[in-house]
A = this chain, B = another copy of it.
């Protein structure tokens, strides 16, 4: 059921009345923003390019003018979304924290990010349904993950040296464990809730889960007494 398709840009905010200033970057970005929402909401085949155009107050032709195909638009949306997350990760500055705090900060950050950005989680989920074929093709993917893995590596090394973290932990494995726990709490809430009566969106459940995951992650890496 497509929503009502408005005519392009009549009274659009800052515009001059009929048609606004031509601005390549702005138009491109508006398409990306709307497409992000639409793809996250409806998936790849579920998304209608007409609707994207309408919501961005432009003609459909423009969408293809800038992105050529629906798939390429999806790829661009995906890349931008990942880039935002990796940027946020980079600002974490785990190196300045003592090991336990660093691990817990990482856990809480990841949990908060996923919970605050369910559209991002949905987008990643959708990309997995498509077997990651867009991300694989794009392949700036690998480079982007290096910083976070490197940060984790350094925390583990410091903690080991300080005698508070056990040895032999694979930073990628750690990251996967953490991602699993955080991602699931957002991605699978809709099937989990009706089955187990556990509403993961409530403030209380969310805080509890956040603590739980932080504890679990620390338990996983810390050196036993």
Residues of chain A at the chain B interface (Cβ within 8 Å):
42-46, 122, 124-133, 135-136, 139, 141-142, 144-145, 149, 172-173, 175-177, 179-181, 183-185, 187-198, 209, 212, 216, 219-220
Contacts and interface: CB of A to CB of B under 8 A. Distances in A.
B195 A144 contact: yes
Contacts of A184: 176, 179-180, 183-184
B212 A216 contact: no
Given A132-B193, A133-B190, A142-B194, 20 more contacts: A124-B191, A132-B194, A135-B190, A139-B194, A142-B196, A145-B195, A145-B196, A149-B196, A172-B196, A173-B209, A177-B212, A177-B216, A179-B184, A180-B185, A183-B184, A184-B184, A216-B216, A216-B220, A219-B219, A219-B220
A45 B181 CA distance: 29
B220 A190 contact: no
Stoichiometry (number of copies)? 2
B188 A128 contact: yes
Nearest to A138: B194
A179 B188 contact: yes
B181 A135 contact: no
B177 A181 contact: yes
Contacts of A181: 177, 180-181
